[in-house]
Amino acid sequence: MEIDIDTTAPTATTDEGGVTTTDEDGVTTTTVNGVRTLLAPRSGPVTAGLLFRVGRADETLATSGITHLVEHLALHRHGLSDLHYNGATAAAYTHFAVTGTAADVVEYLNGVCAALRDLPVDRLETEKEILRTEAVGRGGGAADGMGVWRYGARSYGLVDCAETGLPAITAEDVRDWARTRFTAANAVLWITSDALPEGLDLTLPDGEWRPAPEPTSALPATPAYFQGADGVVLLSSVLPRSTAARLFADVLGKELFRELRQKGGYSYTAAAEYHPRDTGHATLVAYADALPAKQDALVGAFVDVLAKLRAGRIEQADLDSVRATALAQFDGPELAASLLPAAAMNLLMRHRRLPVARARAEIEAVTVSDLHRVARDMWADALMQVPGRGVDWAGLTTAATPPEIVSGRRYSAVEDGKVALLVAKDGISLVTPNRRVTVRYAECALMQVYPDGGRHLVGEDGFSITVEPTLYHLTGGALAPLDAGVPPASVVRMPPRDPARIPRPDPARNRPLTGGQRARSGAVTAWIWLLGTLTVLLAAFTGLVALAQTDPELSPEGPDWAGVFFLSLLTAGCAYPWIEFLRKRRRGEG
């Protein structure tokens, strides 16, 4: 278990004549070429990590993938090597790590920084293809999508989105991203050594430290839920970073395991985790699996565990158990070196870092009442993914609220007239018998534009609409409002698609008319127009007859209302097929 720790030791700000300090835990703080650096000795190979405060949450959907692309380009020149090294792009940071001899570490870190100063942009398209292949092989986990439901297709929700910006990213884009984000002021280095390796050169642009991105929200209210895949229940909640919240996550995990696996037998896996998100907040995630036949019982038992904890029924023995585990981390060998990764991350995020003595004291001071408070806070911000039925009965509101559809021109689908696009000046809606989605142009996070006319729009809330001209009765200029309304920064122009990948109507549902069918269709249309003309004339005649029946001179024996009623019925009978014909024609069905 990793505990938030902060240091009160001053940080050096220059390399020449700067301050180098060692705190009470044995962690040395210095700088290398303006990069804040933490050192602590450890036996065996040297391990180092170079962190930058930039990640996927700093991007937009239209530029997503650019940080990952810079990371790949920075590592390309290392090629095949026996050296153990890696790079990783997370939501709020990018990490370059290496293990080897001191000379290996110097060679790797110097190479990374040299590449960041002069990216091998001749590799741009090749690395894009590698990233696409990596995405296909990565697959998805049960929790994929939780971020989009909470944050939308922005900020921290982008971690769950495809790297849709790759096609449009240019060489100048990646150079600018590296020049402004991968800077000395926005970096922290940690090395398991008691001294800086000789020859280390971390020369980078000066730049500035960039705070973690502000979170966005796509939730109308919390606690909320949405329906997901069968066989799994998930919960996420954003909490202030604290020692009590970390301990609560472990207590929640113990309670879920005990109730859902050991007692109920619903789950094989039932646990909870705590992950720092940014400077001041962390995400608590709880999850449990079950066979489909037991998932309803699982949902009920899962909610019961949450209700029990927020009611304050937390066992002192559980707190004592997780407290002992948390304190045990300070008893390991070479403690200072084991603290480096967390200490460097806290320094990068500018989060507090306590000396070990104060960290121990905070852990020992946590009470059951503190955990009860965290449990209530967790529920107040909870987002649950549940299988099957909803959980309104538990006091959660649905996270998916039907959007307001736009008032615009209707274009029906070729295969099904009940499916249609509504195109207006300010947005577009997709309407089906069971679903409706709206993307307002001003809130469009991404519009992919294909040379064949296809469009794919994603709203900031994460909902999307695909417009395929081959699948809808679109008229000339139908897509002009989209091109005029979507902000240019959200537009990504895509390469031509393989014709075989362009959707086509199902021939079985949309066979072309034969010559005889077209002739019959034309005859039917002619008769319908004739019927419409007759309807107008008949309606006029019925009105004249009704007027005449009320004139004593024309109808001295009194009105013949039965005749008027008969003419009215005849008019209505003629009008109905005419009105239906006009309605279908407007929807593109006729």
- Tens-digit pLDDT profile for residues 117-162: 999 999 999 999 999 999 887 765 555 689 999 999 999 999 999 9
Structure token pair of residue 21: 């300090």
Say yes or no to pLDDT of 460 above 70.
yes
Banded pLDDT at 522 (limits 50, 70, 90): low
Single-letter amino acid code for the residue at 544: L
The three-state secondary structure class of 253 is helix
Say yes or no to pLDDT of 568 above 80.
no
> In sequence order, which residues have a C-beta less than 8 Å from that of residue 285 and are 6 or more positions away?
143, 146, 234, 235, 236, 272, 273, 274, 275
Structure token pair of residue 107: 């060679």
Pairing assessment for the beta strands 420-423 and 187-191 based on DSSP bridges: unpaired
The answer to whether 175 and 120 have CB atoms below 8 angstroms apart is: no
Taking the CA of residue 188 as centre, how many other CA atoms within 13 Å lie in the half-sphere pointing to its CB?
21
CB burial class (10 A; 0-12, 13-18, 19+) of residue 412?
A: buried
> In sequence order, which residues have a C-beta less than 8 Å from that of residue 313 and are 6 or more positions away?
none
> In sequence order, which residues have a C-beta less than 8 Å from that of residue 377 and are 6 or more positions away?
237, 239, 240
Q: Nearest Cα to 7, choosing from 28, 33, 35?
A: 28
> What's the whole-number mean pLDDT along residues 31-35?
96
- DSSP track, 162-174: --TTGGG--HHHH
Q: How far is CA 323 from CA 207, 246, 319, in A?
A: 41, 10, 6
In the 8-state DSSP scheme, what is residue 471? G
What pLDDT, on a 0 to 100 scale, did the predictor assign at position 269? Answer: 95
Work out the end-to-end distance of the chain between its first and last CA atoms, rounded to an integer number of angstroms: 66
CA 231/CA 590 separation, integer angstroms: 45
Pairing assessment for the beta strands 46-52 and 94-100 based on DSSP bridges: antiparallel
Banded pLDDT at 83 (limits 50, 70, 90): low
Say yes or no to pLDDT of 406 above 90.
yes
CA 213/CA 424 separation, integer angstroms: 33
Banded pLDDT at 353 (limits 50, 70, 90): confident
